[in-house]
Amino acid sequence: MKILTLPILGALALLFSSITCSVLASPNETKPDHDKVSEVTKLALVNLNTANAKELATLPGIGESRALRIINYREQNGQIKSLEQLGEIKGFGERSLAKLKGKVAF
């Protein structure tokens, strides 16, 4: 144990045998809201049913022509409900679909 002596006003002294410091969260701080974290994650994903050609082209392996094929497909067939459904579009095979996994929303 280390003793620290601080002189105060000459003859008086304070003795400290240990100093404990605690940090408390302010009342305004809260734990992360899992719904909001989920929302942010979804924002990072490209929604295949609402994205325009420019947004679709940000996805790996998707250029302008594939983006237009996706848009044409959803206009003719309705909403895309799964990644596997993209396999029905010309030019989308297993490797293409694997690159998109975790990067798209429906």
Dump pLDDT digits (tens) for 47-101.
999 999 999 999 999 999 999 999 999 999 999 999 999 999 999 999 999 999 9
- Residue scoring higher pLDDT (57 or 21): 57
Q: What is the pTM of this model?
A: 0.60
> Looking at residue 33, what is its pLDDT?
64
By C-alpha distance, which of 82, 86, 102 is closest to 94?
Answer: 86
Residues 6 or more apart in contact with residue 5 via CB below 8 angstroms: 13, 14, 15, 16
> Looking at residue 104, what is its pLDDT?
97
Answer for the pair 48, 74: CB distance below 8 angstroms, yes or no.
yes
Decide if pLDDT at 103 tops 80: yes
Name which CATH class applies to 34-105: mainly alpha
> Which pairing describes strands 46-47 and 104-105: parallel, antiparallel, or unpaired?
parallel
> Looking at residue 44, what is its pLDDT?
83
Per-domain residue ranges for the chain? 34-105
